[in-house]
Amino acid sequence: MKFCSHCAAPVTLRIPEGDNRPRYVCDACHSIHYQNPNIVAGCIPEWQDQILLCQRGIEPRFGLWTLPAGFMENGETALEAAERETHEEARANVRIESLYTVFNLPHINQVYMLFRARLLNLDFGAGNESLDVQLYQENDIPWDDLAFPVIKETLGLYFADRSTGGFRVHVGDIERLPGAPRRYRINMLNH
Amino acid sequence: MKFCSHCAAPVTLRIPEGDNRPRYVCDACHSIHYQNPNIVAGCIPEWQDQILLCQRGIEPRFGLWTLPAGFMENGETALEAAERETHEEARANVRIESLYTVFNLPHINQVYMLFRARLLNLDFGAGNESLDVQLYQENDIPWDDLAFPVIKETLGLYFADRSTGGFRVHVGDIERLPGAPRRYRINMLNH
């Protein structure tokens, strides 16, 4: 951010009076421009003992597999966002059943909210941002070709819960550690 | 939003190519300025059979009672945000125990994430944005003087769950209906 979106004057990054962290502040019209985390909403579409995965057709992680999910929009609920993203990315119709995982990704200012969902029929296919969409049995999940750690963690919890017959909400943090190669620290809040 | 925050040129509100909803678009530098819902994180601080409420010292709802909660910031988790807000508004130290309610408020583009938390000691008091901070027994909760519907719903669920001995995560939507007086539609996702 370089310019004020209200009056076009240059902004400066400083701590406003009464605040405790740097913000983009306009010294001309006194606007403070807050920047806050975004919600990524999505779901695990279930069909009998299979789940639906999408092969990404866009960067990042082109060609890798993921659950349908995307940025929640103003004016909608997280459930509506998850259903909409599932329709956009997998051309699939789902009914959201329950919240399943909430993961904080503080290094990229995102909070994932992933729901369990029932796939309503087999009329699905690749949306604009997908190369392919497929139903997977647990034994066929492409664990080494999943797009994001949050997807791998969610699917790991899902199949573990399914094997014990008890699904519950899981809340945790996935934080990327500094340096290369990519490593992550995962902390779960016990319920 | 009137001007591009990257180049200061005027923005126009239109649907970008390949998108399906209006965005603020800069025709000079081709930036698209997305606007997305914010997360409000907070908690129910528990001390024996009492919970801690804050009396608001700022608008909106000056003088009414609420749970400590506020906008989640970039770079932190929802848990950290809930702990920070509790410290800022109630000068209280808590340990977050579990996610309790997630409420979508689509009419104001907010998602509330409220946690159950353990108050670590009785060293609390009014922060800058509070008039007063008090522990309340269930029978003394000021139901008619609560600041927001999301707080009333969360506390109603909390005491109902507590009376049955079983706390679980609740997810729902609270949407303001058009017109006056203020009325809300509440939909809960069954778990």
Q: Using one digit for the tens of pLDDT, what is the confidence trace for A14-60? A: 999 989 899 999 999 999 999 999 999 999 999 999 999 999 999 99
Q: Which residues contact B11 (CB under 8 A, 6 or more apart)?
A: A5, B1, B2, B3, B4, B24, B25, B26, B33
Q: Which residues contact A59 (CB under 8 A, 6 or more apart)?
A: none
The helix (run of H) or strand (run of E) holding residue B26 is: strand B23-26
- Which chain B residues touch A185 with a CB distance below 8 Å? none
pTM for the predicted model, two decimal places: 0.96
B128 contacts chain A (CB < 8 A):
yes
The helix (run of H) or strand (run of E) holding residue B87 is: helix B78-90
Q: Residues A100, A153: contact at Cβ < 8 Å?
A: no
Minimum-distance CB partner of A74 among B72, B109, B190: B109
Min Cα distance A165 → chain B (Å) is 15
B69 contacts chain A (CB < 8 A):
no
Low pLDDT (below 50) residues in chain B: none
Arithmetic mean of pLDDT, A169-181: 95
- Which chain A residues touch B106 with a CB distance below 8 Å? 75-77, 80
How many beta carbons lie within 10 A of that of residue A60, not counting itself? 8
Summarize pLDDT for B23-73 with one digit per residue, the tens.
999 999 999 999 999 999 999 999 999 999 999 999 999 999 999 999 999
B189 contacts chain A (CB < 8 A):
yes
Q: Could you tell me if the ipTM is greater than 0.90?
A: yes
Min Cα distance B102 → chain A (Å) is 9
- Could you give the CA distance from residue A142 to residue A152 in angstroms, rounded to a whole number? 10
Q: Which residues contact B101 (CB under 8 A, 6 or more apart)?
A: B112, B113, B114, B150, B153, B154, B157, B169, B170, B171, B172
Predicted local distance difference test score (pLDDT) of residue A191: 59
One-letter amino acid of A84: R
Minimum-distance CB partner of A79 among B1, B98, B189: B189
B159 contacts chain A (CB < 8 A):
no
